[in-house]
């Protein structure tokens, strides 16, 4: 397709010249190596998570390359920063698709970026693997090329609501960070606990503010037994400081991605008692333990790198599916993704090395990952994972409730 155009058109301009010179060696390599793109939020709102995802992609790709690659070809990884901004991300995706000729773009995190680059990827037949929870993602994926490694957010809201009720709380207030992921947790939560148990109309707040004082005053108004705050770590840290400073003594409930080790480090002892929920990477799973070793982390018994683990699984699943499909045709690879992740009676593998060996030995495999057991529904959304509620005690997460789907 691109060749046809290049014969017809001649383009000039400084941008063209610079880009051409820089990209020339890439084109030469494209025939031998298989190109895969990594588009992660290394700066901006997703800054705390993106680098983990990228590092995971690279580790898996390097590992496979050191063992001879996939389909006998080297994996070449191209990493771009989405800046957590769809405006930038679309151009980065353009580069990955048209210059680097990637067959998949992995690691997009915020829904707006995943959805923003989707028209581009669909048109070029590029596989997308993301950790975005927007319910719009399956609806807009017309070619069956999008795979989401994160449970959809209404599921989070329902699960946390259910687990909160089991803890015996009678009255709640809810405030959510105003974005697609955290915002749509409100409906699930309110649906489960019942509107009559919510004292103040649930509301949103914007991140990146100079103060969250009035929001917190509103949140703890009428003194509910518990407050639920779906948020990200940066804004949640500021919000929680304010909750503490305004003297709220009730139960604070949030999501585990907001209560990272960095959060506990900042808040110190005052973090004790917070309850938070997350679809669990099976902490006891061999894949999760392997991830900790690969990333050089201590096993603290709590969820670490919730998105980094997904990054490992994305790259592993893509490479396994490629080997299984025996081709670099993306439609075939997409079908093979279900083959290697979902279904009973197959050999369970926890890492890409074992998986590749098993496929080459002609076995049917089911990859079980570090972020979840990785089973996809027919729309490419990861199926409900176990959900757990943990409480911070002495700066450590202690699991208090577990919900199995």
Partner 1 sequence: MSWQILVNGLVNAALIAPPAIALSLIFGVMRFPNFAIGGYITVGAFFAYAVNVDLGAPIWLAAIAAMIGTAVVVWLSDALVFRPMQGRGPVTLLVLSIALTLILEHIVRLFYGADVRGFDLPLQRPYRFGDIRITQEQIEIIVLAIAIAAITHLILQYTRTGKAVRATADNPMLAQVRGIDTGWIILLTWLYCGMLFGLTGVLAGLDLVIEPLVGWYLTIPIFAAAILGGIGSPYGAMLGALLVGLAEELTVLILPSTYKIGVGFVIIAILLLVRPQGLLGRPEIKK
Partner 2 sequence: MTAYLVSMLTFTGFFMILALALNLQWGMTGMVNFGIAGFYALGAYTSGLLTAKLGWPVGLAMPTAVAAGFVAGGLIALLSLRLREDFFAIVTLGFGEIMRLIALNEDEITEGPRGLKIDARPFAGMFDRELYPIVYLILVASVVALAFIVVECIRRAPLGRTLRAIREDDVVAEVLGKNVLLHRVTVFAIGGAFMGAAGALYAHYVQNISPEVFMPMVAIFIWMSVIVGGAGNNWGLLIGAGIVMTILEGTRFIGDFVDILDAEKLSALRIILIGTLLIIILRVKQGGLLPEQRFTYKGSQESGRTETQTSNA
Would you count residue 254 as binding partner 1 (CB under 8 A)? no
Would you count residue 110 as binding partner 2 (CB under 8 A)? yes
Break the chain down into helix, strand, coil percent, rounded to 5.
Answer: 45, 20, 35
Region of 142 (left: φ > 0; alpha: ψ -120 to 50; beta: rest) is alpha
Among 109, 156, 181, 263, interactor with partner 1 by CB under 8 A:
263
Burial, 102: exposed, middle or buried (Cβ in 10 Å; 0-12, 13-18, 19+)?
Answer: buried
Task: Give the nearer residue to partner 2 in terms of CB position, either 76 or 197.
Answer: 76
Would you count residue 238 as binding partner 1 (CB under 8 A)? yes
Would you count residue 247 as binding partner 1 (CB under 8 A)? yes
Q: Are 306 and 277 in contact (CB under 8 A)?
A: no
- Look at residues 378, 371, 337, 330 and name the one whose alpha carbon lies nearest to residue 355: 337
Task: Supply the minimum distance, in Å, between the C-beta of residue 235 and partner 1.
Answer: 9
The stretch near partner 2 (CB under 8 A) out of 2-10, 215-223, 306-314, 320-328 is: 2-10
Tally of CA atoms within 13 A in the half-sphere of 323 that contains its CB: 28
263 binds, among partner 2, partner 1, none (CB under 5 to 8 A by kind): partner 1
Region of 6 (left: φ > 0; alpha: ψ -120 to 50; beta: rest) is alpha
Q: Are 395 and 264 in contact (CB under 8 A)?
A: yes
Among 13, 25, 72, 268, interactor with partner 1 by CB under 8 A:
268
Interatomic CA distance for residues 253 and 274, integer angstroms: 6
The stretch near partner 2 (CB under 8 A) out of 147-155, 178-186, 240-248, 378-386 is: 178-186
Alpha helices in 9-110 (DSSP H): 14-30, 50-66, 86-98
Would you count residue 43 as binding partner 2 (CB under 8 A)? yes
Q: Is 290 helix (H, G, I), strand (E, B) or coil?
A: helix
Would you count residue 6 as binding partner 1 (CB under 8 A)? no
Among 32, 68, 71, 87, interactor with partner 2 by CB under 8 A:
87
Helix (H) or strand (E) holding 227: strand 226-229
Q: Are 370 and 290 in contact (CB under 8 A)?
A: yes
Task: Supply the minimum distance, in Å, between the C-beta of residue 261 and partner 1.
Answer: 9
Would you count residue 401 as binding partner 2 (CB under 8 A)? no
Would you count residue 87 as binding partner 1 (CB under 8 A)? no
16 binds, among partner 2, partner 1, none (CB under 5 to 8 A by kind): partner 2
395 phi and psi, to 5 degrees?
75, 5
Q: Are 130 and 108 in contact (CB under 8 A)?
A: yes
Neighbours of 399 (CB within 10 A): 14
The count of chain residues that interact with partner 2, using the rule CB under 8 A, is 65
Among 26, 30, 43, 348, interactor with partner 1 by CB under 8 A:
43
Would you count residue 297 as binding partner 1 (CB under 8 A)? no
Among 40, 131, 237, 256, interactor with partner 2 by CB under 8 A:
40
Q: Is 63 helix (H, G, I), strand (E, B) or coil?
A: helix
Would you count residue 208 as binding partner 1 (CB under 8 A)? yes
For binding to partner 2 (CB under 8 A), which residues are involved? Answer: 1-2, 4-6, 8-9, 11, 13-16, 18-20, 22-23, 25-27, 38, 40, 42-43, 50-51, 54-55, 58, 78-81, 83-87, 90-92, 94-95, 97-100, 110-112, 115-116, 118-120, 123, 134, 136, 140, 178-180, 183, 204, 206
């Amino acid at each position: 397709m691109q060749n046809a155009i290049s014969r017809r058109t001649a383009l000039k301009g400084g941008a063209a010249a610079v880009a051409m010179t820089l990209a020339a060696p890439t084109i030469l390599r494209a025939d031998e190596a298989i190109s895969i793109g990594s588009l992660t939020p290394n700066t901006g709102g997703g800054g705390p998570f993106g680098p983990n995802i990228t590092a995971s992609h690279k580790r898996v790709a390097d590992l496979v390359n050191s063992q001879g690659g996939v389909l006998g070809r080297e994996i070449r990884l191209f990493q771009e920063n989405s800046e957590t901004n769809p405006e930038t991300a679309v151009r980065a995706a353009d580069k990955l698709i048209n210059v680097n000729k990637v067959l998949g773009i992995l690691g997009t995190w915020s829904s707006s970026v995943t959805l923003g680059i989707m028209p581009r990827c669909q048109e070029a037949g590029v596989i997308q693997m993301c950790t975005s929870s927007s319910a719009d993602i399956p609806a807009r994926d017309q070619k069956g090329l999008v795979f989401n490694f994160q449970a959809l957010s209404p599921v989070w809201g329902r699960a946390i609501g259910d687990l909160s009720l089991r803890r015996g709380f009678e009255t709640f207030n809810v405030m959510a960070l105003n974005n697609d992921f955290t915002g749509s947790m409100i409906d699930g939560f309110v649906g489960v606990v019942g509107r009559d148990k919510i004292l103040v109309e649930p509301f949103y707040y914007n991140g990146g503010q100079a103060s969250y004082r009035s929001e917190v005053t509103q949140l703890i108004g009428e003194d509910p037994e518990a407050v639920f705050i779906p948020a990200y770590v940066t804004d949640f840290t500021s919000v929680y400081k304010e909750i503490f400073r305004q003297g709220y003594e009730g139960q604070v409930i949030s999501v585990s991605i907001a209560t990272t080790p960095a959060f506990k480090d900042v808040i110190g002892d005052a973090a004790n008692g917070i309850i938070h929920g997350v679809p669990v990477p099976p902490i006891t799973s061999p894949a999760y333990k392997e991830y900790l070793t690969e990333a050089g982390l201590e096993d603290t018994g709590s969820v670490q790198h919730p998105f980094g683990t997904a990054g490992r699984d994305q790259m592993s699943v893509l490479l396994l599916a490629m080997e299984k499909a025996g081709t670099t045709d993306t439609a075939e690879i997409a079908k093979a993704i279900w083959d290697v992740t979902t279904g009973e009676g197959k050999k369970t593998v926890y890492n890409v090395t074992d998986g590749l060996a098993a496929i080459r030995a002609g076995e049917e495999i089911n990859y079980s990952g570090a972020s979840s057991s990785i089973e996809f529904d027919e729309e490419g959304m990861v199926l409900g994972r176990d959900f757990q509620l943990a409480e911070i005690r002495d700066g450590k997460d202690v699991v208090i409730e577990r919900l199995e789907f």
